[in-house]
Amino acid sequence: MMPTSTSVGRPGSRNGGGRGNGGGRGGRPGGGNGGGQRPGGFGGGPRGGRGGRGATQGAFGRGGGAPRGRKSKRAKRQEFEQQSAPTVGGVVVPRGDGDTIVKIRQGASLADFAERINANPAALVTVLFHLGEMATATQSLDEDTFQLLGAELGYNVQIVSPEDEDRELLESFDIDLEAEEANDDDEDLIPRPPVVTVMGHVDHGKTKLLDAIRSTDVVDTEAGGITQNIGAYQVHVEHNGEDRAITFIDTPGHEAFTAMRARGARVTDIAILVVAADDGVMPQTIEALNHAQSAGVPVVVAVNKIDKEGANPEKIRGQLTEYGLVPEEYGGDTMFVDISAKQRKNIDELLEAILLQADAALDLRANPNTDARGVAIEAKLDRGRGAVSTVLVERGTLRVGDSIVAGTAYGRVRAMFDEHGNTLDAAGPARPALVLGLTSVPSAGDSLLVAPDDRTARQIADKREAAERAALLAKRRKRVSLENLTDVLKEGKVDTLNLILKGDASGAVEALEDSLLKIDVGEEVALRVIHRGVGAITQNDVNLATVDNAIIIGFNVRPAERVAELADREGVELKFYSVIYNAIEDVEAAMKGMLKPIYEEVELGTAEIRQVFRSSKFGSIAGSIVRSGTIKRGTKARLVRDGVVVNGDLSIETLRREKDDVTEVREGYECGINLGFKEIAEGDIIETWEMREKARD
């Protein structure tokens, strides 16, 4: 046996025994290839000497490694970057130089902004807190909040417009609308019908004019005689021996539909401005003219009602000259046509003027041999057919079976109809069509495009809906800073009227919302539309109104089954209207505090005094018989004698039947009544009544 070493210097690992010297303090023997307890080569023996490779391996083996507490190079680099990075409120945040542009979408969150500037979202939450705003990393914020945060960090924050955002979204699906139009060859372009919008003041005859053009009667179907929905129609006329088509868009006549009328001006080629010859230029006439001129649309003036007494077409020409519409007979370039829509006089001349204007000033051509691109003119929810949308194809051809997306709605074209209800297999440029097959109701004015397949259409719609929801959440966030929150709540300066709008068509709902948001009654009262939609008022609408303390306005819609009961139980007010400006007037009056409840007197019952009893405790007691209705204790009463009111400010103080106190006595029964009034006599009539709030028309 080889003698063992009883003591070693420094312990080594299993593979190598450090220094194998025998002297020193007792400890674990060295081992492996360098001697120690186990025999080994390279200078083995009891003392072991150096352990060859074991010395190196032992330094990084199980018993070796770097000394504890030493930082790695990565940790040192992060510590250096944090020490050199700028801080805001003690939080490290990358800063800009003041000119650094950061573009974010509407309704973006702090996490989105942090990704743009390579920062920690939690750090931005802290920075925003120091600026007096509380928000989570994933909460949608408005533009003002991002501007405040960007100014603090040295960034020029720019909110991407919805159009640019949608363009980027479509480009991510390899859809570039601008490039498609630019790549159209001249030989692919064919003439298309002009798209005409009829505009003007309310009750100046716009719908009558379309009635005369289309030889149909649609005026009688409108509530209040005012057009409530946008419609699109195509008519055919003979011009220079050719059959020419003209597409008409019927925009509403009341100022409440400003948004829809403005949208109509954007999608049309020519605007017809209808002015009544007996009424003259009115505020809405100027409003409609401004929409057309801002869109760069040529205007043809139709001077209507020339058959009425007092009509003065020359006066109309003079008035419109002040607004830049100079008639051709005065040396200008605006065509004026005197018409009578009621008598259908000079309608052909008006259509001739439209075609002349289109041929002379406009190059109306489009490529029909491509995927359809267009706009949703109007949409509504039909009980039998689902989502129904009137679309106007601007380029390409829309066919049955195409996968389409319009705003946040998508689907496949199941069927198409023209304005007469006839089925269509295809709709070319400037052709309006009623489309079935969308999964939801698009908004009026949403762009329509044909997607490569159903999956792509659904993805585009879903991403649009997510972006729209984020933008809506950002708008709904009420910006109250931490510094003034307590004072604002104490002083009651924040007073918001929340509304939920439901209507039969998306265009009417959007127009109503646009007009309501324009109501200005000062800083004390604010109006907020927290939800809008198409169709009947549902339970979800009532639940939302309950949470946000909102009023539900229904336009040409009614509540679904049992929804009215739920609203009554939850204390949610439902308002229903069939003419849109009535809703606007009521909301405006309510915000201004002028909408006083209307009360009416309702008779509850009458009683005839048969005998008068005198009591030292109760005074005069009327022994009576109830002649009509019900006599209730505590109700207001009046005493009538020979048709003359003796005292009209009384009340039923006590009511007894036989010996029992009762709350009410019905018709045909006798009772004792104490009015608290002594001057009563046999034969007097006691009338009871109450004031009830009267429903507004």
Distance in angstroms (rounded) separating the CA atoms of residues 146 and 157: 7
pLDDT for res 266 = 65
- Of the ranges 344-358, 457-471, 551-565, the best mean pLDDT one: 344-358
Confidence label for 300 from pLDDT (cuts 50, 70 and 90): very high
Please give the residue that has the higher pLDDT: either 366 or 259.
366
Q: Is the pLDDT of residue 598 over 90?
A: no
Alpha-carbon span 140 to 106, nearest angstrom: 9
| Residues of the chain above pLDDT 90, percent | 26
Q: Is the dihedral of CA 539, 544, 545, 550 positive or negative?
A: negative
CA pair distance 187, 671, nearest whole angstrom: 97
| Residue 462 backbone dihedrals phi, psi, to 5 degrees | -65, -40
CA dist., res. 652 & res. 657, Å (int) = 14
Number of C-beta neighbours around residue 94 at 10 A: 16
Percentage helix, strand, coil, to 5, in the chain? Answer: 30, 30, 40
Average pLDDT, stretch 570-591?
A: 81
Both structure tokens of 389: 């949308």
Instruction: Take residue 328 and report the two structure tokens written for it.
Output: 């051709």
Amino acid at 24: G
In this predicted structure, what is the pLDDT of residue 129?
A: 87
Q: By C-alpha distance, which of 465, 496, 503 is closest to 480? A: 496
Highest-confidence segment of 30-39, 78-87, 137-146: 137-146
Beta strands in 170-260 (DSSP E): 190-191, 195-200, 231-239, 242-250
The confidence band for 252, taking pLDDT boundaries of 50, 70 and 90, is low
Residues in CB range of 337: below 8 A, 6 or more apart:
300, 301, 302, 303, 346, 349, 350, 353
Q: How far apart are CA 673 and CA 667, in angstroms?
A: 14
Place of tokens 């200005």: 520
The overall average pLDDT reported for the chain is: 78
CB 545 within 8 A of CB 564: no
Rounded mean pLDDT of 103-115?
86
Q: What is the pLDDT of residue 489?
A: 37
- 475: pLDDT confidence band, cut at 50, 70 and 90? low
Segments in 251-408 forming alpha helices (H): 258-267, 283-294, 313-321, 347-361
What is the pLDDT, as a whole number, of residue 368? 92
Distance (Å, rounded) from C-alpha 445 to C-alpha 510? 10
Determine phi and psi for 255, rounding to 5 degrees: -65, -20
- Mean pLDDT across the stretch 310-339? 91
Cα separation, 489 vs 333, whole angstroms: 59
Range 586-593 average pLDDT: 73
| pLDDT surpasses 50 at 57 | no
* Residue for token pair 């009327």: 622
Higher pLDDT, 439 or 188: 439
Q: Locate 549 and state its tokens.
A: 């303390």
Q: Looking at mean pLDDT, say which of 162-176, 177-191, 642-656 comes out highest.
A: 642-656
- The secondary structure element, H or E, covering residue 485 is helix 482-491
Count CB neighbours of 419 within 10 A.
Answer: 18
Q: Residue 617 CA to chain centroid, in angstroms?
A: 67
In contact, 385 and 436? CB cutoff 8 Å? yes
Higher pLDDT, 561 or 83: 561
Nearest residue to 409 (alpha-carbon basis) of 373, 439, 389, 435: 439
Question: Once rounded to an integer, what is the mean pLDDT over residues 564-579?
Answer: 84
Between these two residues, 71 and 367, which has the higher pLDDT value?
367
Mean pLDDT of 41-60: 43
pTM for the model: 0.58
Local confidence band at 87 (pLDDT 50, 70, 90 cut-offs) = low
Least confident residue range of 92-106, 603-617, 658-672: 92-106
Lowest mean pLDDT among 34-43, 391-400, 667-676: 34-43
Query: Out of 304-318, 450-464, 535-549, which region has the weakest mean confidence (pLDDT)?
Result: 535-549
Position 674 scores a pLDDT of 92
Does the pLDDT at position 221 exceed 60?
no
Contacts of residue 587, Cβ cutoff 8 Å, sequence gap at least 6: 497, 499, 516, 519, 527, 553
**What distance in Å separates the CA atoms of residue 245 and residue 94, rounded to the nearest whole number?**
61
CA distance 221 to 542: 30
Q: Tell me, what DSSP letter sits at residue 75?
A: H
Q: How confident is the model at residue 24 (pLDDT cuts 50, 70, 90)?
A: very low
DSSP state, residue 597: P
> Which pLDDT band, with edges at 50, 70 and 90, does 52 fall under?
very low
pLDDT of 77 reads 61
Q: Do the Cβ atoms of 532 and 508 come closer than 8 Å?
A: no
Statement: residue 402 has pLDDT above 90: yes
Q: Which of 42-56, 138-152, 205-219, 221-235 is most confident?
A: 138-152
